Structure 1
Amino acid sequence: MTNSTYRYPPDEFDVAVPGGAPVGVHRAPRSGWSSAWPFLLVALVCAGVAWGGITLLSGGGNDPNSAAEPNASVSADPSPSSSEGAEGEGDGQNDGDGGDEPSEESSSEPEEAQYPGDPAAANMAADIGVYNDSGEAGVAGAVATNLQAAGFTGNLNAGNAGDPNGPQAGAVTANSVLYGPDRADTASAVAEALGIPAENVQESADVGAHPTEAVWVVLVTPPTE
């Protein structure tokens, strides 16, 4: 080694001894690798730490979608037993609601009978026979007076059931109005004036055979005022 390549200052070990060799060598020259490897080691450690931190922050390298899919499928698909139970509850509720609602047929009231004719078109001058079948005296005369007060101006004949040309005793079971052909309007007006229901207003061949009377009023009970 020459002095031009030796980088350390001369000292006592550099003093020449007989034979030309120095007494000693201060230190051996260092190679380039011995100076560079500490830096390489530090760089590798830093790289490893950085890679570990990135892996940790990214969830350990696992795919987040693959981890979430099983949970989504479990929560989205209801079990068959729960769906069947819900359907059963719905069916029971519908059946219960349907049973609570009354049918139209059961809730509707029976239709009220209508008079066979139009009381407004009655012949107020027609002859009317009033027959007592109640067994109580004076009933036929009182009803004839009421019909006169209601505006009937024809002959009002008061008699008893069983009289000649009149109705037979016991022919009807409730206060009734019987009429001959084409006398439905007049009979309806008589029944309306006396409060006799429409179902007790009927056409009768016996009335049609009477020589003069167009309508009969047959009283089984005294009419209520």
Structure 2
Amino acid sequence: MTDYPYPADEFDEAPAGGQSAGIHRAPRSRWSRIWPFLAVLLIFAALAAGLYVWFTSHSPSKPTQPSVTTTAAQDPTPTETTPTETGPEETTPEETTPEESDEPTTDDATDDTTDDADETDEPATQEPDRSVTVRVLNATRIQGLAAGAVNDVKALGYTDVSGDNYRGNPVSSSQVWYKSPEHAAAAREIAEKLGISAVSEVSSLVGPVSVILSSDFAS
């Protein structure tokens, strides 16, 4: 100890019993021993949270499919439908017996009076309008039945004549229908040309005059 530059003190002397002596430290508290571990755990938790946020923000997100509302497609072009013919309601006409007049008839009436009465009671013959539209409808399965009737109607002078298939209520015999009284003369002329006896006024008819050909026309 000759080279030690400082004066000797109580710590330089060996204690009794030959044991080494040193500075005694105060005992450490439990918190001072635990907090370093807690600090490390908090640091790791913060790092893990930061990495999770970073990965989720930079990972490509799956595109969201837009909701599709399915609506029924509408055809802007209206479907062309062929109107169906509706015939007259079948009614059985009641037979009426003319009432007998109580007034006696005079045989001595003058010829002039008779002639005037005939001219008054007899309606004037209506001329058929051959410019009306005439539809000839085939109500049978016979091909070309309407085409022959169309030619017969055109031979009368009617220009607007067409043929088609009948799509209305079933008919038992051939008929000629007209829409209003002004078409009656044309309907009767056509019916006489085609040999059809049934002529009826049908207010719900599509066109002015319609000819319905049944199986009796083919025979």
TM-score normalised by L of structure 2: 0.40
Higher normalized helix content (fraction of residues): 1
- Rg larger for: 1
TM-score normalised by L of structure 1: 0.39
